[in-house]
Structure 1
């Protein structure tokens, strides 16, 4: 049934001018439980949520960039090369590499749908989870078909780039982080992931097939962390889905050296991820949570941060609020049906935006 819905929606989009169309289950995911609406205290000053928000938003983003030691190389030549490619039923799967920063090359899979008739296509930056085979599962080269989200999104008509996380460049996560930060003293591991995500967007913008105004991001686990940061820090992203990444710092291993480091455990550390959710407000953002079980990162507890985003959205952007939680209750996993909801979200809030 869900697959049929996606197919029908894509056909409708192909036959008529693209307009914003909400997912039919939006109210199910953007309605906070009653206990989170009573006396909820958000982490932003009241003035930030009212008239002072635009200037406060810029200030919060700058504070996060300073903490991360964020950097980017938008003018650096990509020097993209194709290593191999194969034609599949619905898309071409192309392994590429390109220059992420001076002296460091990143591999990625690029999935390009067939038969797009020279039209501009929507695109997604899709981040893989923690896996020694990195992006293989995401692009359909490993087990668990439900986790082949890059391939599934390409089948739905998206150009998809799946960059390889730097954590497997050396023989340990710590060694990989130290190597990646060698030229960026004071930066956090998350700054590398953010820079690589922004670089993936840069690459998409060089492709003739891609509409620059219709780019989303998705990730599971490790990749969900990357997707959330990319959406918060890069306004070129028009919608995002973060599956089981842990939206707040206390929900997951954000203190690991390859993410934010031990600073987040220090007394007096004042940054909160609900600030990132607030930065995303105005653009659709969906969290997938598994509620409980080994490694589970998101669930009902994620509503506090999402409620911050709701308040900013309600104060400054058109209704309805398009930020919510899809709590599938199946632990740190990606059930097939939840993946179909990811595709529906991307169709509604990336693909069906007006073509530029």
Structure 2
């Protein structure tokens, strides 16, 4: 093979075994997670030669970080000790926060005097030329809460993704947790201060985020990301929050780290996070089950900062009984990658009981970092054909999405039709699966001389067949001479229990969990219904079954990406308003969880390559779309371009060069690009446009979406209804008008809200079948 492919022997799926007395919901959860542990063939795209290797189900770029961490202590004693009697830090010292700027290490720490029950912490500072030998600042303490009651705890500085200290408007930004230890509520709250020089700080201001302890904050693009210990209830866990200004925080709905390894006991605390390349790294503390009254440090990695994989050899830094000053605690830490590539950690420690000191000293150690990943071929490579790898991979992903293996008869029933502007709009109802039916409309030219190419639309969050951009695209495709199928997605419009539009009914966590635990993820349902749409089109005499494609925007772009990867019958996909990048793992449950599971098996180039060679994929985005590129720094688009380039080499190796492309509109936001003239050009190239010539498409007039929506009296959603996003879209102008929703209704009055057509009915059905 000219591309130098190497493949393993076919992998056998590992069938999980479950306790016979486990309740159904437990068996479902066990089955769900067992899917994630199956060994799969993976491609390592190196240059132009993909290598097919076996790997554990963890994103490949993270695996090198889960090798042993050999931390080396640098001193025979603490680098920072308790202060002299009578000073502010003569009894307790902990929570180092270290910065390296212009060759000087600055270490801020929390110190207190008095007995444990009377402690109140303030901030001290020490400086060093080597990160090991520190001198305390003569101005200490350099910061206090100011009311004589609240302690300054666990300070953190604003840092760039790789952990380097950031200044904003020439000033350092520091966040810390504060509490009054004499307050029965024990409330910990997030506060902020800033400084020009690190010694003179502004008055503390509250960010009004409660139950926060030990924050760590990185700025990635425009986004401030915080990981913190949630102390609202036992056991403590670690959570994530994001902000656009560092003041107003949105806490992610689920903990990102909880107690689940054998060494961990009681609580998790003190997260320290860096991001190097595509990997987020977290060191965190817990009580150590092996030795009473001790803490140790664990380590975890992530590709999105939300879904973490813990080190199998945790804890990676343990107390040392031979070093009395750190015999019991080695937590409350700061970690930095040094200019020479090594890592250095500064951590607080506690000596043996009796515990007169909450923490006793500050210490340091270094680690060379992980070895570089080897790219050796497997010991016993066995070549197999790309189609075999593709088929095996598609089968694994279909199983993960819960795509039913068997299909029932569609039992299609026509519910009427109407004519407008030279088009015919047919109304249909057909069966997707037992207990779940789909209302759908077909747009077609009134006159067709031969079986026509066809497109199935896929929808964004809250989208359905009556939403303006899909009604527009469907009419535009029909004007171009195609047949277009527009179906209501599960939970929207006529598949909503109250018949409402824009509900996003499948978004809530509770819905995701019900579907996922039943083995039928929401994304799998959206994809399977789209596959049934292909079945429906292939039964029609006016459709050419060899020329069918899909097109969708936003969530619909995500669905189109899965269709391209898994559905061999489609010849074209337009993936609009979506990225082939890890940034999509921060999205809503229906997209992020399947993508997280997919990324445990494949890289993004591999996922896109599953469409080769038959399905031509056009990825269309605006390069200013911060809805998808959430950091608003181009990360998602740089990643997508690289993925398309790498997948393009696989396409070329399979004889389909040029059939995967990335298209970007300069300055464009989250727009419905599937109705852009360039989308029509792609459709013509891949499927054909019977009613339009190449020259007609090239010279086609355009209309601004905002002006068109105003003319149709369409009220756009606040978030999307801006010139950057939906109001600024360029649409191929066919002189279209909006089709009234009432004209597109397919259901009889007595069918509306019944289980066969609703999300609730489908959930109940799959739970009964589970």
Alignment of 1:121-160 (within 5 A): 121-131=452-462, 135-140=466-471, 148-160=472-484
Asked if 1:304 corresponds to 2:642, the answer is yes
Cα separation, partners in 2 of 1:255 and 1:116, compared to 1, 3 Å: same
Match of 1:80 in 2: 412
Q: Secondary structure at the match of 2:474?
A: helix
Check the 8 A contact 1:166/1:177 in 2, yes or no: no
Cα separation, partners in 2 of 1:179 and 1:246, compared to 1, 3 Å: closer
Larger fraction in strand: 2
**What root-mean-square deviation, in Å, do the aligned CA atoms of Structure 1 and Structure 2 show?**
3.4
Q: How far apart, in 1, do the equivalents of 2:548 and 2:463 lie?
A: 27
Q: Secondary structure at the match of 2:411?
A: coil
Cα offset, 1:224, TM superposition: 0.9
Cα offset, 1:341, TM superposition: 1.0
Check the 8 A contact 1:221/1:244 in 2, yes or no: yes
Check the 8 A contact 1:123/1:158 in 2, yes or no: yes
Match of 1:275 in 2: 606
Cα separation, partners in 2 of 1:54 and 1:310, compared to 1, 3 Å: same
Cα separation, partners in 2 of 1:131 and 1:326, compared to 1, 3 Å: same
Cα offset, 1:156, TM superposition: 0.2
Q: How far apart, in 1, do the equivalents of 2:401 and 2:538 lie?
A: 25
Query: Deviation digits for residues 189-238 of structure 1, max 9, x if unmatched?
Result: 21111111100000001111001111111111111111111121111101
Instruction: Name whichever of 163-172 and 90-99 sits farther off.
Output: 163-172
Cα separation, partners in 2 of 1:173 and 1:253, compared to 1, 3 Å: farther
Q: How far apart, in 1, do the equivalents of 2:644 and 2:541 lie?
A: 35
Q: Secondary structure at the match of 1:166?
A: coil
Check the 8 A contact 2:428/2:441 in 1, yes or no: yes
Cα separation, partners in 2 of 1:90 and 1:128, compared to 1, 3 Å: farther
Q: How far apart, in 1, do the equivalents of 2:488 and 2:586 lie?
A: 19
Query: Deviation digits for residues 262-309 of structure 1, max 9, x if unmatched?
Result: 88289x933334322111121311100112243035533312221232
Check the 8 A contact 2:464/2:487 in 1, yes or no: no
Match of 1:345 in 2: 682
Q: Which runs of no fewer than 5 residues in structure 2 stay unpaired? A: 1-44, 54-376, 498-502, 630-635, 691-770
Match of 2:445 in 1: 113
Q: How far apart, in 2, do the equivalents of 1:349 and 1:173 lie?
A: 33
How many matched pairs? 303
Q: How far apart, in 2, do the equivalents of 1:39 and 1:321 lie?
A: 18
Match of 1:34 in 2: none
Larger fraction in helix: 1
Q: How far apart, in 2, do the equivalents of 1:275 and 1:230 lie?
A: 14
Query: Deviation digits for residues 243-280 of structure 1, max 9, x if unmatched?
Result: 012223x23256633235288289x9333343221111
Match of 1:99 in 2: 431
Q: How far apart, in 1, do the equivalents of 2:597 and 2:644 lie?
A: 22
Check the 8 A contact 2:457/2:470 in 1, yes or no: no
Q: How far apart, in 1, do the equivalents of 2:557 and 2:508 lie?
A: 22
Q: How far apart, in 2, do the equivalents of 1:57 and 1:340 lie?
A: 32
Match of 1:327 in 2: 664
Match of 1:264 in 2: 596
Q: How far apart, in 2, do the equivalents of 1:180 and 1:189 lie?
A: 9
Cα offset, 1:326, TM superposition: 0.7
Cα offset, 1:115, TM superposition: 1.1
**TM-score, length basis structure 1:** 0.74
Name which one, 1 or 2, has greater alpha-carbon Rg: 2
Check the 8 A contact 2:577/2:673 in 1, yes or no: no
Q: How far apart, in 2, do the equivalents of 1:132 and 1:190 lie?
A: 15
Cα separation, partners in 2 of 1:309 and 1:177, compared to 1, 3 Å: farther
Asked if 1:237 corresponds to 2:574, the answer is no
Instruction: Name whichever of 91-100 and 157-166 sits farther off.
Output: 91-100
- Structure with the bigger RCO (C-alpha within 8 Å, sep 6+) is 1
